[in-house]
Amino acid sequence: MQIIDGKKIAADIKAEIANEVKAMIDKGEAAPHLAAVIVGDDGAAQTYVDSIKKNCQTVGFTSSIYHFPADIKEEEFLKAIDFLNNDIDIDGYIIQLPLPIHISNDKVLAHVDPAKDMDCFHPANMGNLLLGKDCYKPATPHGTMELIRRAGIETEGKNCVVLGRSNIVGKPLAMMLAQKDANATVTICHSKTKNLKKVCSKADILFVAIGQPEMITADYVKKDAVVIDIGIHRIEDPESEKGYRICGDVNYNDVAGKCSAITPVPGGVGPMTMTCLLMNTLTARKKKQ
């Protein structure tokens, strides 16, 4: 049974990016510049943004953090987005979601310059993804696809089941699997799917992004299937020194013995999300050149 090591694969990709950035700087070019926008004081959002800054430093990128108060008016926030769109020094940026309830996520995301949309949330980028055209790809689905490609997991002709239909993971991942470079046969499932265990148990590759801690047990999985766990949760664990443990949507201990390959949580898909955000930023810089 293969344990797919996302940490190692992510580190390999970041080393490749760092070498490209060094070559740019040696030629007198500025380093790629990724910005992050955060509104309010949510701890998880701040942790993610801090991670962006750290990873940018690792590969030699410039990073900027724009932190706005939770009560910023929508009109003012859209003006800030205009500033980022027009700043020629910024190659791309992300907006940490969700935004406060008085600010429309849809209005803000549609206001982002598609050429700087590193999360691929703009409708134009989502449309290009659906059409199979060249575009930035959402970081988590992109990371998932890059992870299985580098791990030697073949998708062509395989029956792939995507459990989860969010706009951030499930839907774009299903689109990417169905494109001609992946050539998978794709089924999208969700919490309302009838006979869910039966549908999942027919998958050659099962992608799980259902958002329920350790929901997937061995009876959801076909023998020798590949299981890609995209979920991540922090749950209480009195026996742990920290008082909690990290797990995914898959009950790893129950499922691992039945798989031909599986991603652990943490250390599987998670490290690839940030890595693909860096990949998108490097691509944005190249397109500008």
pTM of the full structure: 0.93
Give the separation between CA 139 and CA 82, rounded to whole angstroms. Answer: 23
pLDDT at 237: 86
pLDDT at 87: 97
CATH H-level, domain 28-115: superfamily: Leucine Dehydrogenase, chain A, domain 1 (3.40.50.10860)
Q: Profile the chain (289 residues) by mean pLDDT over runs of 10 residues.
A: 96 98 95 96 84 95 96 97 97 94 95 95 93 90 97 97 95 96 96 95 97 96 98 87 90 96 96 96 91
pLDDT at 243: 85
Same fold flag, 28-115 and 139-270? yes
How far, in Å, CA of 133 to CA of 120, rounded?
Answer: 13
* Secondary structure (DSSP) of 277-288: HHHHHHHHHHHH
Q: Residue ranges of the domains in the chain? A: 28-115, 139-270
Q: Which pairing describes strands 233-236 and 244-247: parallel, antiparallel, or unpaired?
A: antiparallel
CATH dotted code for 139-270: 3.40.50.720
DSSP-assigned beta bridge partners for residue 228: 207
Q: What pLDDT does residue 43 have?
A: 81
